[in-house]
Amino acid sequence: MKKRNRVSLDDKFNRKISKISETGCWLWMGNRHRQGYGIITLFNQATKKEKAIMAHRVAWELFRGPIPKGLNILHRCDNCSCVNPHHLFLGTQNDNVQDMMQKRRNRQPKGERNGYAKLKDADVRNILQDTDSIMQIARKYRVGHECIRRIKRGESWQFITVAEEGKK
């Protein structure tokens, strides 16, 4: 990387951060990935194309140096929009998963509170009592037959039981 490109990258990077004194986080104020990670777009002179790069990876390279092949940049502060190099550390994908498990960040909301759920909790109670065929039930609720099969077998939505119906 040429020195003049490095300076322009430094300037571009620094214009997009907001330093929060209480937490020490440097919040990325530019574009973000749908999961909340900052994205910086760089122009490659050789290919004449733009490339989006995760901002925390750019922060690491600007302040700490190259990222060794096969390693990820992980967040100590668990703030995915943070680009403070002192809050970042190197690790493998396995390290990232272990960090997530230790900090209990792997918990997804259950049932209808999960943003991806197509069914409501009440629908699942009704499905558990429904005596129609799996295919008929699937058509009724506009979901795949595999979804219904897994509910009926207790492989998904395990926390919902027919006995719960009287509680609500």
How confident is the model at residue 163, as a pLDDT?
A: 60
Name the residue type at position 112: E
- As a whole number of Å, the end-to-end CA separation of the chain is 63
Q: What would the mean pLDDT of 148-158 be, rounded to a whole number?
A: 92
Tell me how far apart the alpha carbons of residues 21 and 62 are, in angstroms, rounded to a whole number.
21
Q: Are 78 and 103 in contact (CB under 8 A)?
A: yes
pLDDT digits (tens, 9 = 90+) for 18-63: 888 888 999 999 999 878 899 998 888 888 888 899 999 999 999 9
Examine the pLDDT at 168 and tell me if it is beyond 50.
no
- Please tell me the pTM assigned to this model: 0.59
pLDDT digits (tens, 9 = 90+) for 83-128: 999 999 999 999 988 988 888 776 677 788 877 788 999 999 999 9
How confident is the model at residue 1, as a pLDDT?
A: 45
How many Cβ atoms are within 10 Å of 38's Cβ, its own excluded?
26
Tell me how far apart the alpha carbons of residues 104 and 94 are, in angstroms, rounded to a whole number.
15
Q: What would the mean pLDDT of 120-149 be, rounded to a whole number?
A: 94
Task: Of 44, 45, 40, 34, give the one whose Cα is nearest residue 57.
Answer: 40
Give how far Cα 82 sits from Cα of 40, 108, 160, Å. Answer: 13, 22, 38
- Fold held by 3-102: Homing Intron 3 (I-Ppo) Encoded Endonuclease; Chain A (3.90.75)
Q: Are 134 and 148 in contact (CB under 8 A)?
A: yes
How confident is the model at residue 107, as a pLDDT?
A: 65
Tell me how far apart the alpha carbons of residues 46 and 27 are, in angstroms, rounded to a whole number.
31
DSSP string, 151-167: HHHTSSSTT--GGGGGG
Segments making up each domain of the chain, as ranges: 3-102, 111-167
How confident is the model at residue 106, as a pLDDT?
A: 65
